[in-house]
Amino acid sequence: MKPEVSKDLYIISSSPHTHCGASVERIMLDVVIALLPAFAAALWFFRLDALRLTTVCVATCLLAEWVCRKAMRRVNSISDLSAVVTGMLLAFNLPPALPSWMAAAGSLFAIVVAKQVFGGLGYNPFNPALAGRAFMLISFTGAMTTWSASEWILKVRWAAADAATKATETLVDAATSATPLGYAKEALKAGKDLPFFDLSLLREFFLGNVNGCIGETSALALLIGAAYLLVRKVITWHIPAAYLLTVLIYAAVLRLAAPATSLPPLMHLVSGGLMLGAFFMATDMVTTPVTRRGMLVFGIGCGIITMLIRTVNSGAYPEGVSFAILVMNAFTPLINRATRNRVFGSN
């Protein structure tokens, strides 16, 4: 005879007890969807170069992942779309004129070295796309820092130039130039003022009418994608808010202390890869803290390091988003340990 079970007795199985319905494939698909507005903006501003680089990076990442999993005799994981996300994010961090073979080399490094060597998705300590970009920035420095001139820089140069320079520039059909952050860094090193970086240029920077990496220029497109991720609960507000607020406060203090040689705080927010990094790479589930307090610490650290690289005049790089996130990725295990929640029933 089967013994009676008390109504007050709960039978608990091993975790997970419930399933929210999310999966790796669904999460990665959401990220791909969220990146589509930025991809559309890239096609609008950079035309075929944006399509070429994105295609090369995504295709190389998929092929590299398939070969690695075959070589390691493990279940193939290209269907989880993580390689697609890595390829898109890496492409969005590249200048439009970069040769295709360099983009392919960076994609191979991102998948093979930064991801599969550690065991694949879930085991990599560093964001693969950012690791690939860092590799390319060191290996192909010239190509990774070459930009075509756009309307904003021509306006700035024209306003600041003397009559002789203006007469010379009217004979030039096209020219290469620095990004907004590069221009500011060059002026900072030379001890020059930045009087033409004002709110009149904010609209162009916000929409993306500025030279830079193909997927980072349009803050508007990136914010649309970020809103989708927040609504879908793929990411939370903690890291992006802490990151952006730290940059804003840091830039505001610098602006108050030295207004002639500092960018306006809002210009820092819409320049460079800050929006792309804050919403799409600093929020990577694998390489960032899992606790809410840890996420805030992570975001603050990213913001401080980013601004240090951007504003210290002895530095070589005008942009610090990639390196800031990679550095904080290394601290993620320590942050998780320091901010872990107290176990229920313990002191």
The answer on 257 and 121 residing in a single domain is: no
| Res 231: pLDDT | 94
CB atoms within 10 A of CB 332: 20
Is residue 12 situated within a structural domain? no
pLDDT number for residue 344: 61
77 and 226 share one domain: no
State which residues of the chain have pLDDT below 50. Answer: 158, 160-176
In a domain, 3, yes or no: no
Do 171 and 127 belong to one domain? no
Q: Are residues 80 and 38 in the same domain?
A: yes
Domain that holds residue 94: 24-144
Tell me, yes or no, whether 247 and 181 share the same domain: yes
Same domain, 100 and 138: yes
Per-residue confidence (pLDDT) for residue 134, from 0 to 100: 93
Tens of pLDDT, residues 239-293: 999 999 999 999 999 889 887 777 888 888 888 889 999 999 999 988 999 999 9
Selection from 120, 118, 115, 145 nearest residue 132 by Cα: 115
Domain boundary among 85, 117, 144: 144
Q: Is residue 9 part of a domain?
A: no
Which of 87, 122, 144 delimits the end of a domain?
144
Contact assessment for residue 242 and residue 169, using Cβ atoms and an 8 Å cutoff: no
* E strand or H helix at 247: helix 238-257
Which of residues 144, 159, 179 is at a domain's end? 144
The predicted structure's pLDDT at residue 311 = 84
Residues 176 and 312 in one domain: yes
C-alpha 274/C-alpha 210 separation (Å) is 14
Is position 60 within any domain?
yes
Residues 300, 171 within the same domain = yes
Claim to verify: residue 172 and residue 249 sit in the same structural domain: yes
DSSP 157-182: HHHH--HHHHHHHTT-S--B---HHH
The residue length of the chain stands at 347
Distance CA 81, CA 77 (A): 8
Q: Is residue 314 part of a domain?
A: yes
Residue 14 lies in a domain: no
Is residue 218 packed enough to be buried (19+ CB in 10 Å), middle (13-18) or exposed (0-12)? Answer: buried
Q: What does the pLDDT read at residue 166? A: 45
Q: How far is CA 314 from the centre of its chain?
A: 24
In a domain, 5, yes or no: no
Task: Indicate if 162 and 80 belong to the same structural domain.
Answer: no
pLDDT tens string 317-326: 778 899 999 9
Q: Is 343 among the domain residues?
A: no
Separation CA 137–CA 154 (nearest Å):
26
Count how many domains the chain has.
Answer: 2
